[in-house]
Structure 1
Amino acid sequence: MNLALFDFDGTITTREMLPDFIRQAIPPRRLAVGKVLLAPLVIGYRLGVVSGTVVRAAIVRFGFTGMPLAMLEAQGVSFAASALPPVMRAEALARIDWHKRQGDTVVVVSGAFDVYLRHWCREHRLALICSTLEHRNGVMTGRYLGRQCVLEEKAQRVRAAYDLSRYGRIYAYGDTKEDLGLLALAHERYYRWQPMPPD
């Protein structure tokens, strides 16, 4: 049996979808204020002096604190059903189907939110490892539950969930530097759908 690990945004999809979900899920007035207040962080990110991890944490805190969980869940269901299908990369879906036909274990490993990814993965019968947003008593806290599933955290979570020694071959697919730890787990690695040379 083999293991296939897929990043989501930009690998399975044609572009990053987390910003689209944030724009859909956060109420318009709060979103408008957040664009102004968080603009320095976003500019710093674009200049390479602020990490994406810091920017995402700030957006989550400002945008989702106090939001009812039921409201966010409804947004996740809607987003998975309407926003994701048009941006699926045909070659990615074909490759996922190929792995499934081989009997491989296929896992989406993403920094995006479980609130919409779990619906898409359930529809496509895929396992999921991703970032989760914290809630208490039905209200969003504005924090991640645990660490964001990016960079080396992706590889750590895969190792925690799967005994890699059980798999004859490991495949990994990614498209940014945040996927390099994930790609390092694999015998066959694809970066932006191009094969990477072996170590």
Structure 2
Amino acid sequence: MKNIAFFDFDGTITSTDSYTPFIFQTIPASRMKKGKFLLAPYILGYRLKLIRGTVLRSKIFKLGFAGLDADEIQQKGLSFSQSYLPQIIRPQALERIQWHLAQGDHVVVVSASMDVYLKPWCTQYGLDLLCSEVDTINGKITGIYKNGDCSREVKKQRILDNYDLSLYAAIYAYGDTIEDQAMLSLATHGFYRWQPINPR
């Protein structure tokens, strides 16, 4: 039996958030200006820990992307994965991923960030991906995610829906925030901010 390893992306594989830079590089300036005004209460609530990141991300995504051309956003996602992501990938994380692959382990990135730039990055390294998936209709982005924001309990459920964990000798999980706790609870070998935590 081989092992399986689940990696959060932002803050675990990367040294910083990838979602915000992608937003600033992609959303039209007119929408950005309008969004700052409309989202101000949500941003304040998030900073005061009154609302969850899942709520804020969904508001940003809808205001910023609804109605935009899906093919254009896919191309921008590909460019972002090739030009920006390499700048923020932790060498330690990439080494650990490559160590798992060398062992023959199944490696999966599990992230609340968007598939438009995570998918090409994961494909480059031969990794599976569970994440927030952009929904489209008639070539336009709807402004919602296909299966919801992939964080907290959704991360855990997406894993259980897609993988039979009883088939693996060991389950590794790597995370860095409270949004990863549910995923980490599945692990026999868990790592929080790259420090080992007690196995279940």
TM-score by length of 1: 0.98
User: What displacement does 1:72 show?
Assistant: 0.6
Give yes or no for contact 2:112–2:149 (8 Å, CA) kept in 1: yes
Alignment correspondent of 2:51: 50
Give the percent of matched residue pairs that are identical in Structure 1 and Structure 2. 49
Alignment correspondent of 1:78: 79
Alignment correspondent of 1:22: 23
TM-score by length of 2: 0.98
Alignment correspondent of 2:34: 33
Q: Give, as a single letter, the amino acid of the residue that structure 2 aligns with 1:25.
A: T
Structure 1, unpaired ranges of 5+: none
Give yes or no for contact 2:15–2:88 (8 Å, CA) kept in 1: yes
The yes-or-no answer on 1:10 pairing with 2:29 is: no
Task: Provide the rounded CA distance (Å) in 2 between the counterparts of 1:146 and 1:163.
Answer: 19
Task: Provide the rounded CA distance (Å) in 1 between the counterparts of 2:134 and 2:102.
Answer: 33
Task: Provide the rounded CA distance (Å) in 1 between the counterparts of 2:178 and 2:167.
Answer: 27
The yes-or-no answer on 1:114 pairing with 2:107 is: no
Task: Provide the rounded CA distance (Å) in 2 between the counterparts of 1:81 and 1:50.
Answer: 33
Task: Provide the rounded CA distance (Å) in 2 between the counterparts of 1:20 and 1:153.
Answer: 24
User: What displacement does 1:133 show?
Assistant: 1.4
SS in 2 for 1:11: helix
Matches within 5 A, 1:93-104: 93-104=94-105
SS in 2 for 1:10: helix
Task: Provide the rounded CA distance (Å) in 2 between the counterparts of 1:46 and 1:65.
Answer: 25
User: What displacement does 1:152 show?
Assistant: 0.8
Structure 1 vs Structure 2 CA RMSD: 0.8
Alignment correspondent of 2:61: 60
Give yes or no for contact 2:46–2:52 (8 Å, CA) kept in 1: yes
Aligned residues: 199
The yes-or-no answer on 1:159 pairing with 2:160 is: yes
Q: Give, as a single letter, the amino acid of the residue that structure 2 aligns with 1:145.
A: K
User: What displacement does 1:53 show?
Assistant: 1.1
User: What displacement does 1:145 show?
Assistant: 1.0
User: What displacement does 1:198 show?
Assistant: 2.8
Task: Provide the rounded CA distance (Å) in 2 between the counterparts of 1:126 and 1:97.
Answer: 10
Task: Provide the rounded CA distance (Å) in 1 between the counterparts of 2:52 and 2:8.
Answer: 19
Q: Give, as a single letter, the amino acid of the residue that structure 1 aligns with 2:91.
A: A
Alignment correspondent of 1:182: 183
1:22-52, CA deviations, whole angstroms, 9 ceiling, x for partnerless residues?
1111011211221121111001100011111
Alignment correspondent of 2:91: 90
Q: Give, as a single letter, the amino acid of the residue that structure 1 aligns with 2:181.
A: L
The yes-or-no answer on 1:132 pairing with 2:133 is: yes
Task: Provide the rounded CA distance (Å) in 2 between the counterparts of 1:66 and 1:42.
Answer: 23
Structure 2, unpaired ranges of 5+: none
Task: Provide the rounded CA distance (Å) in 2 between the counterparts of 1:49 and 1:145.
Answer: 26
Task: Provide the rounded CA distance (Å) in 2 between the counterparts of 1:162 and 1:144.
Answer: 21
SS in 2 for 1:103: coil
Task: Provide the rounded CA distance (Å) in 1 between the counterparts of 2:184 and 2:95.
Answer: 20
